[in-house]
């Protein structure tokens, strides 16, 4: 069956067919990381829907909404290659009423870690994701673990609002040098890229340790060694369900997350690891 491009709600209703539906929400500029999500969806569902929508609500002031890469024709080619059934590509006015008043709050969890530096970001993420869930009505939705806090909040929303949707997290895809794939990587110069590799190197170095204190110290040492061209926003070792910082005596599964600016580009990365209690 040919790929269907649904540009509004009516198109989306017509495109839906019987069987299990998987949704892969994206903002476009698709790369191999997105392809891994689509492939997992393809295995699990009869119909795969990929949304391509640059969501204005999740960009905070002075962020890169206007320059965020938009490569829709290339995205369509990639979706055809992966056997996607429907691409949902609405305009902002089809997603949000001009007098919109109601949205989703990400609560205290959305104000931690990434939320400290991007206030309101996760409110915008959850609002658009819930709208996509209501419009597409998927049985399954697939997200990348690179956005670990986003994934945790979406799972929390599904639980708190009793949404009948399975959430599947897919491991981060990395380039051969270790840099986590991101649509924003295309902004990096050759020199920027060398600096940016400190993020994944810090995570690997931290993950080789076994206690919270040594993990933090080892990862921070790598970030510090990168010098002033790496503007670190945070290095956080957190509970994967709540994104609260774990104590030095913590034992169990945790997420080591980092965010930094390289040139004019902000990058995030994380790794899940198991700590020994101190």
User: Which residues are known catalytic residues?
Assistant: 34
Q: Are strands 252-262 and 230-238 parallel, antiparallel or unpaired?
A: antiparallel
- Cross-strand pairs, 260: 232, 267
Q: Is 32 annotated as a binding residue?
A: yes
Q: Is 121 annotated as a binding residue?
A: no
Q: Is 33 annotated as a binding residue?
A: yes
Q: Is 28 annotated as a binding residue?
A: yes
Name the H helices within the chain. Answer: 9-15, 32-44, 72-81, 92-95, 107-110, 114-117, 121-136, 148-160, 190-207, 212-225
Q: Is 107 annotated as a binding residue?
A: no
Q: Is 144 annotated as a binding residue?
A: yes
The C-alpha torsion from 143 through 58 and 135 to 148, rounded to 10°, is 20
Burial of 90 by CB count in 10 Å (0-12 exposed, 13-18 middle, 19+ buried)? buried
Q: Is 196 annotated as a binding residue?
A: no
Q: Is 213 annotated as a binding residue?
A: no
- 8 A C-beta contact, residue 187 and residue 229: no
b/e map 105-125, b = 16+ CB within 10 Å:
ebbebbbbbbbeebebbbbbb
The Cα 62–Cα 119 span in angstroms is: 12
- Tokens 């919109």 identify what position? 100
Q: Is 31 annotated as a binding residue?
A: yes
- 8 A C-beta contact, residue 78 and residue 87: no
Q: Is 146 annotated as a binding residue?
A: yes
- Cross-strand pairs, 274: 253
- 8 A C-beta contact, residue 63 and residue 46: no
Starting at the edge strand found earlier in the chain, the sheet holding 21-26 runs 4-6, 86-88, 47-52, 21-26, 140-144, 166-170
Phi then psi dihedrals of residue 21, to 5 deg? -115, 130
Q: Is 182 annotated as a binding residue?
A: yes
Q: Is 209 annotated as a binding residue?
A: no
Q: Is 110 annotated as a binding residue?
A: no
Q: Is 36 annotated as a binding residue?
A: no
Q: Is 169 annotated as a binding residue?
A: no
Q: Is 89 annotated as a binding residue?
A: no
Residue numbers belonging to the annotated binding site: 27-34, 58, 144-147, 150, 173, 181-184
Residue numbers belonging to the annotated binding site for beta-alanine: 58
Residue numbers belonging to the annotated binding site for (R)-pantoate: 58, 150
Residue numbers belonging to the annotated binding site for ATP: 27-34, 144-147, 173, 181-184
């Amino acid at each position: 069956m040919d790929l269907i491009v649904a540009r509004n709600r009516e198109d989306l209703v017509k495109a839906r067919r019987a069987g299990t539906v998987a949704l892969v929400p994206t903002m476009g500029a698709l790369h191999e990381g997105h392809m891994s999500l689509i492939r997992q969806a393809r295995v699990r569902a009869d119909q795969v829907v990929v949304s391509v929508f640059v969501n204005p609500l999740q960009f905070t002031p002075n962020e890169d909404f206007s320059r965020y890469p938009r490569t829709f024709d290339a995205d369509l080619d990639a979706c055809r290659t992966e056997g996607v059934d429907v691409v949902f590509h609405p305009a902002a006015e089809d997603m949000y009423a001009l007098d919109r008043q109601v949205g989703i709050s990400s609560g205290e969890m959305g104000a931690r870690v990434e939320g400290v530096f991007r206030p309101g970001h996760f409110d915008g993420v959850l609002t658009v994701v819930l709208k996509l869930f209501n419009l597409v009505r998927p049985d399954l939705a697939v997200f990348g673990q690179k956005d670990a806090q986003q994934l945790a909040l979406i799972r929390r929303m599904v639980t708190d609002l009793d949404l009948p949707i399975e959430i599947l997290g897919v491991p981060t895809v990395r380039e051969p040098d270790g840099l986590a794939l991101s649509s924003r990587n295309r902004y990096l110069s050759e020199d920027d890229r060398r600096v940016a590799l400190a993020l994944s190197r810090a995570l690997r170095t931290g993950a080789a340790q076994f206690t919270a204190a040594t993990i933090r110290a080892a990862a921070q040492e790598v970030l510090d060694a990168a010098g002033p061209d790496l503007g670190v926003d945070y290095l956080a070792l957190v509970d994967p369900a709540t994104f609260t910082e774990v104590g030095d005596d913590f034992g169990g599964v945790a997420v080591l997350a980092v965010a930094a600016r390289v040139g004019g580009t902000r990058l995030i990365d994380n790794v899940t690891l198991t700590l020994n209690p101190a």
